[in-house]
Structure 1
Amino acid sequence: MIRVGLIDGPLPEASPDLAVQARFSEADGFPAAGNHASAMADTIRAQAGEVHFVNAVVFPGRLATSAGTVCAALDWLAENPPEIVLCSFGMARPSVELTGKTQTLLQAGCLIVASAPARGEPVYPAAIEGVISVQGDARCLPGELSRLDLPQATYGACPAATCNPDIRGASVAAAQMAGLLARHWRGTADDTLTALETAIRYHGRERRTG
């Protein structure tokens, strides 16, 4: 069974595909983080089928966290690296520590997917070398990708969450990618990325006309 590290809010403890969960932030009573994590998990399941989630909780309830908290989550995942790690968030400032923790997981053979903005400056960890950076692309249906090769994002994917139309954007696109990677998993990161090419439908950025 493919394991997906979900660095996000908390999944319900009763979820049958939740393998293990660890909290790196104290709950603040707001529901946004749990709703977000569930939307990411539903979107991944829709593409991948059966997976096991390794849930590192970095959002307390509000959708806010710190580089230090994310680094603690990456350290925890590195103890038993999952095949795929989803970082459905982006931080404006680079961090030597965040880069180092990310590289440790990449060197262990993980595929790390992170959301990236459609416009503006690159964010982290999406901009870290080796991380699969994904932004929303309205051309893409679920199961489809675009190859963008932009400064801030290599891929585009469907920005609509499965089962939750209120949650959209780059975080959902990254979850779509994580699900497709799990579906196409071939035993190694390189072989999986090669197999993923069959999902690429568009090349180049989305161009809109008035």
Structure 2
Amino acid sequence: MLRVGVIDSGPGPEDQAEDARAFMADGSAVPALPDRLGHGTAVAAIIRRACPGAAIIHAQVFDDRPVTSALRVAAALRWFAAMGAARPEVICMSLGLSADRAPLRRACEALVAGGAVLVAAHPARGAPCFPAAYPGVIAATGDARCGWDDLSQLGPALFGAWCNSPEHGPSGMGGASLGAARIAGHLAAIMARTGRLDGPAAIAALAARAVHHGPERKRGHG
């Protein structure tokens, strides 16, 4: 069964909560609590819609506010890395942090070097955010040009996707967050057919399916 790791706010009602873990800044892990934000639940729903057979493995790094730290995300990434052959085919991070932190960078580098496919949210415009800006990480955002099945390529490893979701609402569920979930869903569906891909192959598969190239053009008024 294809597996997708979701580093977010934890398991929702349709998830296997017993497999989920919550990660602390000191690197420790405890059983995850039910999702209190709804963000992780929405991300998982988008991935399941794209790839109904996917098993979602939740790593909880948000509590009751949409705020986390590089240390918590890095701990979750190390947990997935330690799974070895059972590591998820895709790891989705519908989140972004403003600062480059060494523990997060190292955790991403180790997974990328091992062939992992990491997807992280990134705004279509503006300053870089992390982990999306790290080499080998697939950066993802929402693109208003994209229907459910569409993809856009905005940069060498920056892709846009559908983000017009009924779940779009509070708790940080913006276009980049939902776009990252949709990109992860695209990759899960692709790998359900092809088998596991590494990062460069995953980027090539997305690029081959892109129907829009370059950023959205904003139309002026008046």
Q: What TM-score, normalized to structure 1?
A: 0.88
Q: Structure 2: which amino acid aligns with 1:39?
A: A
CA distance in 2, matches of 1:29, 1:158: 27
Output one character per residue of 1:12-31: Cα deviation in whole Å (capped at 9) or x when no partner.
3x535667200114999993
CA contact (8 A) 1:160 1:173 kept: no
CA distance in 2, matches of 1:188, 1:8: 23
Q: Offset of 1:118 from its aligned partner?
A: 2.4
Alignment of 1:63-78 (within 5 A): 63-78=66-81
Q: Offset of 1:193 from its aligned partner?
A: 3.7
Alignment of 1:181-192 (within 5 A): 181-185=187-191, 186=194, 187-189=196-198, 190-192=200-202
**2:36 is the alignment partner of 1:31:** yes
1:155 matched residue in structure 2? 159
**2:54 is the alignment partner of 1:48:** no
Q: Call closer, same or farther: CA 1:30–1:88 in 2, change over 3 Å.
A: closer
Size of the alignment, in residue pairs?
A: 204
CA distance in 1, matches of 2:2, 2:97: 27
Q: Call closer, same or farther: CA 1:99–1:119 in 2, change over 3 Å.
A: same
1:60 matched residue in structure 2? 63
Instruction: Pick from 88, 103, 106 the counterpart of residue 100 of structure 1.
Output: 106
CA distance in 1, matches of 2:15, 2:107: 29
4+ residue runs over 6 A deviation = 26-30
2:4 matched residue in structure 1? 4
2:139 matched residue in structure 1? 133
CA distance in 2, matches of 1:49, 1:29: 21
Instruction: Pick from 197, 203, 206 the counterpart of residue 213 of structure 2.
Output: 203
Q: Call closer, same or farther: CA 1:30–1:107 in 2, change over 3 Å.
A: closer
CA contact (8 A) 2:10 2:34 kept: no
SS of aligned partner of 1:184 = helix
Unaligned runs of 5+ in 1: none
Q: Offset of 1:194 from its aligned partner?
A: 3.4
Unaligned runs of 5+ in 2: 25-29
CA distance in 2, matches of 1:156, 1:7: 20
CA distance in 1, matches of 2:65, 2:34: 8
Task: Report sequence identity in percent.
Answer: 36
Output one character per residue of 1:147-198: Cα deviation in whole Å (capped at 9) or x when no partner.
1117xx711111223x414244101000000000001112222444433344
CA contact (8 A) 2:15 2:56 kept: no
